Every structure is written in C-alpha cells, then in structure tokens.
Structure 1
Amino acid sequence: MSVEGVSYYSSLTGSDSASTTTTASDNTSLDQVDFLTLLTTQLEYQDPTNPVDNTEMVNQMTSYSMLDEDVQQNENLETIINKLDAISALSTSGYIGEEVMADGGIITVESGDATNVTIDLQEDASTLGLNIYNSEGTLVDTVYYTDLEAGEFEVSGEDLLSESNLETDGTFVAMVFANDANDSSVPVYIKSAGTITAVDQDDSGNTTLTLNDGREVSITDVSFI
C-alpha cells in the first residue's frame, strides 16, 4: 500500500518529484520543505477509519519548528563566536612592542646603566634583601634595605649599580625576601618592566604574553606602562 501511494504521489508531482529526489539525495537532513511534503503525503494517504490525531500532528509540527530554530540559533552563535575570535586575535596582536610591568625581578645592565625593579611589600619590614643572580644562576650579590613601611616602591637601576657588584653587561634576576622585627618572614613581591614580543590565546580565551626577557605572563597580571 505504501509503495503504491508513493508512486501515485510521484505521478502527480511530475517534474517537481525529480527535483525533490535529487535534492534529497544531496542532503543528509530534512529541511522545512521536506517536512511539509512528508506531512502532506501522510495526510493524503491516511486511513480514513483511523485518521491522524490533530494534537499529535500539531505536536510534530511544533517540535520540528523548535528544532529548526535551535539549529539556526546554533549556526548564528557559531558565526558570532568566529567573528569575535577574529576580532580578539586582531586586537591582541597590537600588544606586541608594548612595555608592561609584570611579576619577576629582571635587571638588564647595558653600558653602565641598569633597569629598575618595583617592590611590593605587604607589611612593614625591618629588613628587606635582594639576592641578585647572573644568567648562569650564580649569586652575584645581595643588597639590603632596612626599616621599610608596607607599600609599593621602586628601586632604581642607579641604586642597584651603586649598592651591588653588577659590573658587567647582561641580564640578571633579583629574588626578594623580607623579615619583621621578630625575624619572621613578611610577604613581599618583585616586579620589573618588559616588552611584549608575542601574544598567545588559548581556546578558553585566556591571553598569555611573552616578554623580551623570556617571561610568560597572563595579560591579567600585567600593567601597561
């Protein structure tokens, strides 16, 4: 019965049937036209003694309509995400060459000049020290400061040169420590400037900056100078 029904329907549609068949063979999913064609065929060849329930038919049409909307929304959302990713990549590339302040005490000495470092002291300290290492990891010198109040302050390159044995050009790493009057450790951090040489963004949208001294830092952990 179903085979005869399909043949009869095809003979009524004529050339349109051939066109529909070609389209269906080229697609792996039903579109709205396909769905309405199937529904019309179902109604045309339903059993008169047992017709299609109206409620069920409406539910089918509603379900398909909702599915079609979801598919369209997903496609639109994917398009928006792709455009946002492209815009984000374009905007972050503009960071290259910018100078930022980031965690890590990097001191560059060149032709008798040294770069500054910034100290972030969380509590008052009776003693604060900077252990300075060369590029091979050898301790070059330790610079001490006393009776400091909590806060952020800068140690100039000129001060570092006058207080330490940084006599040769090169890149040095400073590690900071601090103690209070009871010789207990005090939270303290060190920062220094760097120039952005590369920008990387992962699938979650997190942006990592690579600085000229090799540091890799999150964009949320830097301040632009």
Structure 2
Amino acid sequence: MSIVNPSSQSLPQATAKSSTIANNPQTSVASAANTESTKTGNPFLDGIRLPTESAIPEAKDQSLTQKDFFALLSQQLSMQDPFKPVDNDQMIQQMASFSTVDGITKLNEEILNLTSVTSSSQALQASGLVGRKVLIPSDTGYLSSESPSINGVISTPEKISDITVRIEDSKGQLIQSFKVDGSAGGNVDVSWDGLDAEGLPVAGGEYQIKASGKVDGKAQDLPVSTYAHVTSVSLGTASSGAILNLRGLGGIKLADVLAVTEA
C-alpha cells in the first residue's frame, strides 16, 4: 500500500528553485530570504522547515526625560475635549512640574561634580600629612626600625594617682608593664621605648597599649589612643573621603584622626 501526496505536483517546482539557487551563488542569499517569507504550497515541506531566528530587541532606557514629558503634554493637548479644554492653572502647574524635574536633574549633576572636586581638594590637603604622625582612636601601635617607640594618650574620666600600663604583642602576651602618673587627669601621655621587661629590644610589629586605674575605688580599663606614621594618602570615595595609609596598620579616614603631631 502506498501513500499518495495530493500536492506532489509542486515538488518539481521546488526542486527547480533549489537547483537555481545552487547554480547561482550570487542570488542564493536573496533567494533564501524570499524562501523564509513564502511557502512552497506543500504542507509536508512547510511543516518540516526550520523556524527562522527572531532578532532579540535591544534593551531600551525606561527613564523619562524632559522631551518625553513635553511629548505627553502635547498628546494631552491634542486629545483634549474642545468643549472642556485644560484649565490654565492646571497647565501652568504641569509646566512648573516639568521645570522642577529638570532643575532637580541638573542639581544632582552639579552635586556630583561638587563632590568630586571636594574629594580631590580634601586629598590634596591631606597629602600634607605624609611623613607626620597622627593620633588615631586605637590602642594598637606599630613598632619598626623607623619608629622604635610607640606613643599614645590615655583618657581618664577623673584624676588617677597611678595608672597601670601593659604592653602586649599581637598574641596577647605580656611584654612589659609600668605605671604612669595620672594625677593631672584628662589626657595623659604615655610612651613605650620598645624594650621588654629585661631591657631587650623586641621585634617589630603590632603591639597594644592597655591601661587601667581605679575610678571611684574600682579598677577600670581606660581608653587608649596611639600615634601612627602616615606613609601616603588615597582619594577614597565620596562617602569615606580621603584615606590616610598608616605604616603597618592599614588605612584610616581623615575624619577619624584625633590629632596631628609636628613634622
């Protein structure tokens, strides 16, 4: 039993068209394009034809500009009821809204430019701190051949006769301890010469200065700030501002610096 295709008479025409395309390469592209948009008339051939690839549209900007607002306004005016036109006050209000939006956009651009200029100016001013020491709110100092000692400030809530100072390494081990006079109260200067309890110099690295004293008759830990050497300045971001790069300690915001020593 054989299956007869009622549309078999169209096969020679399709074969002839394919033969023409193969013999003439210059017209193969145009013929292929025409074939995509036309059908052969044979349901079997049209059913097995590969679907054409659809082009993916590019993403468009969804934000509205002032030009879009005026286009909407013009469309509104053209579609309004001639017997009930837009009120003048409403028209003025819409125009004022468009002007406000445009003004806010320009203001944002000016603020961004001003922020960039301010950051650059701040970094330029902070560059004068390179080579100097700044007081930072941290009890950790860095000991090196360039800085053989660590200096700091102990903050006391009241006058304390004796303040116990402990020097610890990065592992929390005690290196040396001594006492300083805090009878004057307020901020008390403290300095460590980089020697251990036996008077020998210690290796370079990070060391912590811990301070404690009796406040109202009870032992209490006291906050300590240390001095660090500024090696360079980074621009940072608009939110952080200029960043001071400290020797062995990383970076700190310029706004967090408590004091600056003489060069």
**Into which bin does the TM-score normalised by the smaller protein fall?**
0.5 to 0.7
* Unmatched runs of 5 consecutive residues or more in structure 1: 1-26
* Pairing 1:70–2:100 present: yes
Aligned counterpart in structure 2 of residue 118 of structure 1, from 150, 153, 166: 153
CA distance in 1 between counterparts of 2:220 and 2:150 reads 27
Q: Which structure is higher in strand share?
A: 1
Aligned residue type for 1:91? S
- In the TM superposition, residue 149 of structure 1 has moved relative to its aligned partner by 2.4
CA distance in 2 between counterparts of 1:31 and 1:112 reads 64
- 1:1-225 correspondence to structure 2 within 5 Å: 29-32=67-70, 35-36=73-74, 39=77, 41-42=78-79, 46-47=81-82, 51-53=83-85, 56-94=86-124, 95-96=126-127, 97=130, 99-105=133-139, 106-110=141-145, 113-146=148-181, 148-158=183-193, 161=195, 165=199, 167-171=201-205, 172-180=207-215, 182-185=217-220, 187-195=222-230, 197=232, 199=234, 201=236, 205-207=239-241, 209-214=244-249, 216-222=251-257, 223-225=259-261
Aligned residue type for 1:174? I
Q: Report if aligned partners of 1:99, 1:196 keep a CA contact under 8 Å in 2.
A: no
Q: TM-score, normalised by structure 1?
A: 0.65
Q: Secondary structure at the match of 1:110?
A: coil
Q: Report if aligned partners of 2:176, 2:196 keep a CA contact under 8 Å in 1.
A: no
Q: TM-score, normalised by structure 2?
A: 0.57
Q: Which structure is higher in helix share?
A: 1
Q: Secondary structure at the match of 1:129?
A: strand
List 4+ stretches of structure 1 deviating above 6 A.
Answer: none
Deviation per CA, 1:11-58: give whole Å up to 9, x if none. xxxxxxxxxxxxxxxx8753547735753x457xx55xxx124xx431
- In the TM superposition, residue 89 of structure 1 has moved relative to its aligned partner by 2.6
* Unmatched runs of 5 consecutive residues or more in structure 2: 1-63
Deviation per CA, 1:64-98: give whole Å up to 9, x if none. 21221122111111111211221133124332536
CA distance in 1 between counterparts of 2:74 and 2:200 reads 82
Q: Report if aligned partners of 2:240, 2:253 keep a CA contact under 8 Å in 1.
A: yes
Q: Report if aligned partners of 2:119, 2:237 keep a CA contact under 8 Å in 1.
A: no
Corresponding residue pairs, total: 189
CA distance in 2 between counterparts of 1:112 and 1:194 reads 8
CA distance in 2 between counterparts of 1:166 and 1:117 reads 21
Identity of aligned residues (%): 15
Q: Secondary structure at the match of 2:116?
A: helix
* Residues 89 and 181 of structure 1: CA distance in aligned 2, closer, same or farther (over 3 Å): closer
Q: Report if aligned partners of 2:167, 2:177 keep a CA contact under 8 Å in 1.
A: yes
CA distance in 1 between counterparts of 2:112 and 2:123 reads 17
* Residues 163 and 61 of structure 1: CA distance in aligned 2, closer, same or farther (over 3 Å): same
* Residues 71 and 42 of structure 1: CA distance in aligned 2, closer, same or farther (over 3 Å): same
CA distance in 1 between counterparts of 2:122 and 2:176 reads 38
- Mean Cα deviation higher: 179-188 or 82-91: 179-188
Over the aligned positions, Cα root-mean-square deviation in angstroms equals 3.5
